[in-house]
Amino acid sequence: MSIDAGGLTNALTLEEQRRIGHVIVSHTHLDHNCGLPFFLDNVFGSLSEPVMVYGTHSVIESLKAHMFNGDLWPDFTKLPLVEAPTMRFQEIEAEKPFSIDELTFTPIEVEHLTPTVGLLIEHKDGAILYTSDTGPTDRIWQCANAQENLKAVIAEISFSNAGGALAQASGHMTPDILAGELKKLTRDVPVLVTHTKPGHLHLIEQELEEMNLARVELIEQGKTYDF
């Protein structure tokens, strides 16, 4: 299973890609779905069941119209056969849980330039919150606070504090903005930061160190996290 698919084919081997049966797309921006067409091309003809791609109505309609339209990329909901496609879409709705294997996912709307959902991911042993791309928001923190067994939060910082105007204009966070958002979180859990812009990464690292946010750390590519 994959949450978003921006770097799906870069991060996984071909054999690992063939084991993915479910992809959840949080919103329509390319950095969260540009790996999806190449992934489907890679596994085309080698699957016993279609890959299920989950998204809100706006996400699915965008992928149909602008990506899998037979022009930009083949429509894998009809290939190799309509009766046995490589991909099927499954529409999801905000705050309506759905299950994949032993996990339950609750989409939660956040504040971004395009309609976007974060995800509360629950297992019998605990829950993790993924904010996806967002600027200052409220509902997702309320949902996090209601989870007695919350184990971690995966949040975004796209820009350094010096790029605060860019963050506000594009619906993203800086270290300062995230620090303000974490005041809304009453659960004392680790906060893992992703989605850093390469040109801002060094400054973000410096700023987080200077701010001494004890529970906040940048996610390391390839590292496994246990909670």
Domain ranges of the chain: 1-92, 94-227
Mean pLDDT value across residues 69-78: 97
Closest C-alpha to 5, from 153, 22, 15: 22
Q: Which pLDDT band holds residue 222 (cuts at 50, 70, 90)?
A: confident
pLDDT tens, 127-154? 999 999 999 999 999 999 999 999 999 9
Within its chain, how far is the Cα of 19 from the centroid? Answer: 19
Q: Return the pLDDT at 227.
A: 86
pLDDT at position 188 over 90? yes
Can you give the pTM of this predicted structure?
0.96
pLDDT tens, 112-129? 999 999 999 999 999 999
- Specify the CATH class of 94-227 in words: alpha beta
Question: If you average pLDDT over every residue of the chain, what do you get?
Answer: 97
Percent residues over pLDDT 90 in the chain: 97
Q: Return the pLDDT at 196.
A: 97
Percent residues over pLDDT 70 in the chain: 100
